[in-house]
Amino acid sequence: MVLKVRQVGEQVLRQRARPLSAEEIRDRSTQELIESMRQTMHDAPGVGLAAPQVGYSLQLVVIEDQAEFIQKLPPEQAAERERSPVPFHVLINPKLTLLGSQGAEFFEGCLSLAGFTAVVPRAKQVRVEGLNENAEPVIIDAGGWYARILQHEIDHLQGVLYLDRMNSRSFCTQDNYARYWKDQSVAEVTSPGKLG
């Protein structure tokens, strides 16, 4: 079942989500929620979805970056973003650790801020420890765009939106991004002459 994606301003998006017990994870209702979140993410379409985005204040996210999304990008953009396909997976009660000091800034969108985008600084390397849909421990070491997706989705579980981290002068509609900014590098977009 495709669920309604909550939009910025709804309280559930600004709450700290609660963790799930192993019993709750294995419960049929949680398993059904995971499948509905997968369908909702595909329908949107998106590369990640957190339970608060569909009205559940739970520490649960689904992620999948499909090859077809990446193939739509010019090869140089995919390479610059260090973006490669990520198979579907579930993360529950994730703990995020930023690795190293390297960061990257790129335009980022969110299904809960439909129609908008902004440049958001993120760490380039992360480690995430949590549980999968079977309540089994998982550890993920990720870099590039996958690391960005993980940071974005885990932020949702803390009541944080990309609005809280963005370069505010880069905030724009998706239409204006496509019209004016998509073919420029982030350095060009954020240079003082462009945005300031």
Q: What 8-state DSSP symbol labels residue 191?
A: S
CA dist 118 and 138 (Å) reads 31
**What is the β-pairing status of strands 137-143 and 86-108?**
unpaired
CA dist 131 and 170 (Å) reads 35
35, 129, 153, 188: the catalytic one is 153
CA dist 136 and 130 (Å) reads 8
| Catalytic site includes residue 153 | yes
**List of residues 6+ apart from 159 with CB closer than 8 A:** 13, 14, 15, 16, 17, 52
Q: Which residues are catalytic?
A: 153
